[in-house]
Amino acid sequence: DQQVKQNSPSLSVQEGRISILNCDYTNSMFDYFLWYKKYPAEGPTFLISISSIKDKNEDGRFTVFLNKSAKHLSLHIVPSQPGDSAVYFCAASASGTYKYIFGTGTRLKVLA
């Protein structure tokens, strides 16, 4: 049973436009959410996170939005750059569990 779902396996966006990556979760106990980026032949690297007490967190070109009632979060990248081409994983965790549950990933391709 996939508790964290990324329903779009891939996404292509033109350079300079907005990229929107989506993630849904089913466990209402999750209260901390993260996005990781992964390039080929490398380990995932942390990108941005959000606590359930917030509905938005921004870091430069990256913004994460959280809609708790819909159990949905999204990552916005504006403007998208070719170097953003990677696989993006969302992850969720619940207080006291010491564990992340990862989604299946979305491969983003930013076209020059």
Residues that bind other proteins (CB under 8 A): 4, 6, 9, 32, 36, 41-46, 49, 51, 89, 91, 93-105
CA distance 60 to 99: 27
14 or 45: CB nearest other proteins: 45
DSSP state of 17: S
* Minimum distance, C-beta of residue 74 to other proteins, in the bound complex (Å): 17
Supply the minimum distance, in Å, between the C-beta of residue 100 and other proteins: 7
Q: Which is nearer to other proteins, 17 or 99 (CB)?
A: 99
The minimum distance between CB 36 and other proteins, in angstroms, equals 8
What token pair was written down for 84? 């953003």
Contact 24, 75 (CB under 8 A): no
Apex CA 106: angle with CA 94 and CA 100, to 5°?
Answer: 20
Q: Nearest approach, Cβ of 1 to other proteins (angstroms)?
A: 11
Distance CA 104, CA 90 (A): 8
Nearer to other proteins, 81 or 95 (CB): 95
